[in-house]
Structure 1
Amino acid sequence: MTATIPLAPGHRKGAPRLTPQVVPGVHRVEHAFTNCYLLADGDAWTLVDAAFPKTWGPLVHAAHEVGLRMRDLQGIVLTHGHFDHVGFAERAIKELGVPVFVHAEDRRLAAHPYRYKREHTPFVYPFLYPRSLGAVGGMLRAGALSVKGVEDVSELPGDGMLDLPGRPEVVFTPGHTFGHCALLLRDRETLLSGDAIVTLDPYKGIPGAQIIAGAATADSAMALRTLDTILATGARTILPGHGEPWRDGVEAAVASARAIGRS
């Protein structure tokens, strides 16, 4: 894997960083323990997820580092409508005029990204899982409490290839939210999984392939059933919404998530 490149001065945990070519044609920007991905196709590119308001500057820096121009961004695909994925989407619409895509079931959530269904209150998790405090602090510094919802969106289909750079295929993966979608890059055997399966749960601070805790998941039983859909992709690499890339194959990732289960 290409070495990561800091996108801001200092070495504070959760500071923004870039991993160029995490798989061919895909660049990863991590900020505050949350990932977004740049899918490049020549000069044109697609962005998957919009992290936090303060991720905008690091994104512009990252695009420059990998030879992409903001004016060539063709669209933003939101895997789901939570605040830590909607981030700067409204700013991108206003400044660049790019379309933002989200599944119909998450359209209202994207407009109101703090009004989401969850199984448990998130406020007890820092006490139960003190390791989560680093992630919580990083998210707050990145603007987690100041995300503007986005209403001017286009709806993703439930499946099929998108006419966007990178040619991602929509994989409907409900559970974390009811309109959650992953994106499959079939020619690279890579799944951009959003929060359907992650390798770091920011609510627990625990690494490993897993579904996210009920503090932010609408229906954990549904999320666990959705692992069958993820397994069927046959992906060799998983690029999650939170945590490091998983390169040990989808079978091992799903087995890990099932073993960890709901929380």
Structure 2
Amino acid sequence: MASAPRGRQPRFIRRLAPGVHRLEHAYVNCYLLEDETGVTIVDAAFPTSWRYVRAALGEIGRSFDDVRALVLTHAHFDHLGIAHRLNAEHGIPARVHPEDHRIARHPYRYARERTPFLYPFKYPRAIPILAAMTFAGAVTVRGAEAVEALPAEGALEVPGSPEVIFTPGHTMGHCALWLPGSGTLITGDALVTLDPYKGTRGPQIIAGAATANSTLALESLDKLAATDAQLVLPGHGDPWRDGIRSAVDEARTVGAT
């Protein structure tokens, strides 16, 4: 993929773990899980991410015809981006926990503890991040008309066979995905290494500008820590390679904002 200013154009990293690849576009991560049966897309970024997902699939010798599932850690607009088009053109529904079905259909109607509009004034370092997200289509995301229920636990029969861990708080239907074979945990926004509303880096939960219940989000960190994962792949920010327990410890230190 062509180089461009960080956050405005994608970065694709192959094989973070066996069969696990990362695409970052406008400070949002989506992941490709692949095995002999095909590809699972985890989280759907922005509407303009379509061509970058297509290019990423091409880099691993795949195409949209190989995609068997779209799994959403949660249904916020910056994780829902290509879901509508993926269903319209390839018949693939979005799999998301039932508590987030309403958000999936109406991506700008979600619970949060604080208004997001004052954050750029308090945290000006977040302005380039929010600008990149807007440029990528954050305000033009279409709701997903086809959704299927994601269970709160258990292995999914999709490529990569991730196990679902119910981690409510950021949204009330948020789920993480655990890949025990490689010790890899996709945390979604239950734990991130970049908060796009504050521009702060390092393990943390996302600010109340986009979190429904910070107290519950902090409690859900226990479920993440229980996996004892070695590689942590967040919804925003770089991978964390020092283990989930150290990430959780840092996130608790930061707390809620």
Query: TM-score if structure 1 supplies the norm length?
Result: 0.96
Superposed displacement of residue 195, structure 1: 0.1
Amino acid at match of 1:118: R
Contact 1:103 1:181 in 2 (8 A): yes
Q: Is it true that 1:52 corresponds to 2:46 in the alignment?
A: yes
1:1-263 equivalence runs, <5 A: 7-8=1-2, 10-42=4-36, 44-263=38-257
Q: C-alpha distance in 2, partners of 1:175/1:64?
A: 35
Superposed displacement of residue 8, structure 1: 4.2
Amino acid at match of 1:241: G
Contact 1:43 1:68 in 2 (8 A): no
Aligned length, in residue pairs: 257
Q: C-alpha distance in 2, partners of 1:87/1:12?
A: 19
What's the secondary structure of 1:187's corresponding residue? Answer: coil
Contact 2:34 2:40 in 1 (8 A): yes
What's the secondary structure of 1:92's corresponding residue? Answer: helix
Identity percentage of aligned residues? 55
What's the secondary structure of 1:188's corresponding residue? Answer: coil
Amino acid at match of 1:213: A
Superposed displacement of residue 143, structure 1: 0.3
Superposed displacement of residue 260, structure 1: 0.1
Amino acid at match of 1:56: W
Query: TM-score if structure 2 supplies the norm length?
Result: 0.98
Q: C-alpha distance in 1, partners of 2:180/2:102?
A: 30
Superposed displacement of residue 69, structure 1: 1.7
